[in-house]
């Protein structure tokens, strides 16, 4: 998430696994839209294998799975977010929104105020001896 020049990365860890983060939240958004893991993979330019593994990792980090696949023979094929999946996604987006208010705060303004738009050029590659 970007707040002006500030990049904020929120990752929820379940042991060593990332249960939810920017990429997984975007993936949930796309699965909800595409109603299919294959469609989400295509939309995100990722392999089906990688996409499936990300979904599987998320699913294993919560009491209930976030994405359920529908393998029946009728029209109900593909994937969709469970109620838990929708809850987690909206809570993650709410968390981002809560963090986003720092952009209105004094600390953020103090930093941005003294920062340049672009770094000054590096001097010729001489590392100064110090002490």
Residue 17 tokens read as 């696994």
Please check whether residue 54 is in contact with residue 27, taking contact to mean a CB–CB distance below 8 angstroms. Answer: yes
Work out whether 116 is an interface residue with a second copy (CB under 8 A): yes
Work out whether 75 is an interface residue with a second copy (CB under 8 A): no
Work out whether 98 is an interface residue with a second copy (CB under 8 A): yes
Binding track over 14-53 against a second copy, x by CB under 8 A = xx-x-xx---------------xxx---------xx--xx
Query: CA of 83: how far to CAs of 1, 61, 74, 76, 88, in Å?
Result: 25, 15, 22, 17, 9
Q: How far apart, in whole angstroms, are the C-alpha atoms of residue 40 and residue 35? A: 8
Work out whether 124 is an interface residue with a second copy (CB under 8 A): no
Work out whether 91 is an interface residue with a second copy (CB under 8 A): yes
Query: CA of 5: how far to CAs of 11, 42, 58, 64, 104, in Å?
Result: 19, 31, 30, 37, 13
CA quadruple 61, 67, 71, 72: dihedral sign: positive
Q: Which of 11, 23, 26, 33 binds a second copy (CB under 8 A)?
A: 11
Interface residues with a second copy (CB under 8 A) are 5-15, 17, 19-20, 36-38, 48-49, 52-53, 56-57, 60-64, 69, 71, 77-79, 84, 87-88, 91-92, 94-95, 97-99, 102, 105-108, 110-112, 114-122, 127-131
């Amino acid at each position: 998430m970007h707040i002006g020049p500030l990049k904020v990365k929120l990752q929820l860890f379940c042991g060593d696994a990332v249960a939810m983060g920017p990429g997984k939240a975007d993936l949930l958004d796309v699965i909800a839209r595409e109603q299919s893991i294959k469609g989400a993979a295509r939309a995100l330019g990722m392999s089906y294998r990688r996409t499936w593994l990300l979904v599987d990792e998320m699913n294993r980090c919560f009491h209930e799975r976030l994405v359920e696949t529908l393998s029946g023979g009728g029209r109900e094929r593909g994937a969709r977010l469970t109620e838990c999946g929708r809850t987690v996604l909206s809570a993650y987006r709410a968390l981002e929104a809560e963090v986003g208010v720092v952009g209105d705060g004094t600390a953020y303004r103090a930093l941005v105020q003294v920062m340049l738009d672009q770094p000054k050029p590096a001097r010729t590659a001489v590392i100064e001896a110090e002490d």
